[in-house]
Structure 1
């Protein structure tokens, strides 16, 4: 539970609010459909509220739920404080400049990432976003989003580079582990010179940031538990009482997984990949070798 609500980010307040409202509903023995009928809400409205996906939350709606759940006066005041923060503050990705170009699923992820204390990522195709250079980002977006205007590509590049500030965050600090398929090192994105710069940037980040850890799954490792595609597992501050979540994305969509059994499968998969991959020092040696081969 957040103790200093006014100092908390809107993203953390939305997540904490949603988690506690869901806990209250379950404790009251109510199904989501029952609550929606009483308030004449659509099911999706309550779902967005409980999963922290709304940009802002109306305090009056929170109070209506607290009334149904018979929440204590102390809990009502706390949840109203969470809602007030979401109304008075804005996360950077909710600005009018970026809102039209960021998919809803990725907006949800940005809120999670800005709050998480642990982020574990497996990437099979390209350098993870938090480690990409601006030139690498631009090539990826120009190829993946053909037809976008140059201005929109510039905005997407800015979104990616701004997002990387979480690696320098101190409250709470983010422990970041990325496991890469060896193909990420070998594939030439843009040009050999761009790749040398990109791979050199990864090495520099690992050497400069003790909270950043990189491992590489070599081709010789054969089949492994990440072959169904990339994924990210997020963990949150203990005080927030939020369960770990999994983030997935593909060409058409992005979404967050919250089911306990599915999350456990991804946590196990990441642990298996970490055991199978080269260790951190050997992985850095593999990256340095790849730099030489991009000639």
Structure 2
């Protein structure tokens, strides 16, 4: 379990124990000399927990009926330890602290790290999890022309490292991406950059990772799902209540958690997957775009 997922799980367990003990947020905070707001943030997984605070809370809950069993105590302390571990993106603090990764981008990256399944529709660009380094370099150069070359290089390294979620053990992320056909012909960089990227996509379709599915949506496809821009439906095996829809705009992003909104966008994606080209057709579309480069 990643540190972010462990924090969410720990918070849910602590809330359950507090409510079982019949205590309010104020009640739980007083022995620790912590405010109700601090306890609330801990229960919502918003902060990295201090082990001494978690231990004190468990001792407090154990003083009430029915108390805290040895197994429950071990679970909570284990989650607290997991939540404080270093993450894969810890070496990229310089990137995350800069302006090339927005606040909503950092939040998205944490969710992506914990996700079990991602369904992604991208009408304009190759998704980050499928980008080659040279393709990402061109994205960085176009979007961040005022940044130093070294900053852009670190951004490329960071985005490449993100892709490790597809090969992590024991449970790699399952990615299903539907790309608009125009993605294959949008000139991001020179011919060689696009050739490398398209070859990588073709390889993924032909004999890539079994947990990665790539389809191409024909340019002529016009449905309720293709209008309105990119979207991501993200699902979590360990915390299904956290399932979400991610919509990114030029100046921010929206996270949708409602059951109705999730059902709507899952329906959109199912419709896209049904109407997009199958594996053979998608491979043919990518190879046709490769021929046009020549």
State the distance in 2 between where 1:28 and 1:276 align.
52
**RCO comparison, higher one (Cα < 8 Å, 6+):** 1
Native 8 Å contact 1:36 1:46 kept in 2: no
Q: Which residue of 1 aligns with 2:230?
A: 230
Q: 1:29 to 1:241 in 2, by over 3 A?
A: farther
Q: CA deviation at 1:24?
A: 5.9
| 8 Å contact from structure 1 (residues 115, 172) kept in 2 | no
Query: Is the partner of 1:221 in helix, strand or coil?
Result: coil
Question: Where does the alignment leave 5 or more consecutive residues of structure 1 unmatched?
Answer: 1-7
Deviations 1:244-288 (A, max 9, x none): 222332333345433332222221111111112111221111111
Change (3 A) 1:294 1:163: same
Write the distance in 1 (CA, Å) between the matches of 2:236 and 2:277: 27
Correspondent of 1:242 among 240, 243, 262: 240
Paired residues of 1:224 and 1:273 also in contact (CA < 8 A): no
The match for 1:13 is: 6
Q: Partners in 2 of 1:34 and 1:146 — Cα distance? A: 52
- Residues of 1 paired with 2:240 and 2:73: CA distance? 19
Alignment partners' CA distance in 2, 1:176 and 1:23: 33
> 1:129·1:160 contact (CA, 8 Å) conserved in 2?
yes
CA–CA distance in structure 2, aligned partners of residues 268 and 39 of structure 1: 44
1:136 positional shift: 0.5
Does the Cα contact within 8 Å between 2:119 and 2:177 map onto a contact in 1?
Answer: yes
Q: CA deviation at 1:34?
A: 10
The equivalent of 1:83 in structure 2 is: 80
* 2:7 alignment partner, SS class: helix
Equivalent residues in 2 for 1:88-237, closer than 5 Å:
89-95=85-91, 96-101=93-98, 102-206=101-205, 207-237=207-237
Counterpart Cα distance in 2 of 1:61 and 1:108: 25
Which of 44, 52, 59 lines up with 2:51 in the alignment? 59
Q: Is residue 141–residue 153 contact of structure 1 (8 Å, CA) maintained in 2?
A: yes
Inter-CA distance 33–213: structure 2 relative to 1 (3 Å threshold): farther
Q: Does 1:40 align with 2:35?
A: yes
Choose 249-258 or 262-271, whichever is displaced more: 249-258
Check whether the contact 2:26–2:35 (CA below 8 A) recurs between aligned residues.
Answer: no
CA contact (8 A) 1:53 1:108 kept: no
**What do the CA deviations read for 1:124-170 (whole angstroms, capped 9, x no partner)?**
11000111011100111111123222121111101110111111123
Whole-angstrom distance in 2 between the partners of 1:34 and 1:126: 51
Q: Which shows bigger deviation, 279-288 or 29-38?
A: 29-38
**Matching residue of 1:266:** 265
Greater mean alpha carbon deviation, residues 92-101 or residues 26-35: 26-35
Q: Which has the larger radius of gyration?
A: 2
Asked if structure 1 preserves the Cα contact closer than 8 Å seen for 2:119 and 2:234, the reply is yes
Matched positions, count:
282
- RMSD between aligned alpha carbons? 3.1
Report how far residue 289 of structure 1 moved: 0.7
Aligned to 1:290: 289
Is the deviation greater in 73-82 or in 199-208?
A: 73-82
Deviation, structure 1 residue 22: 5.7
Shift of residue 121 of structure 1?
Answer: 0.8
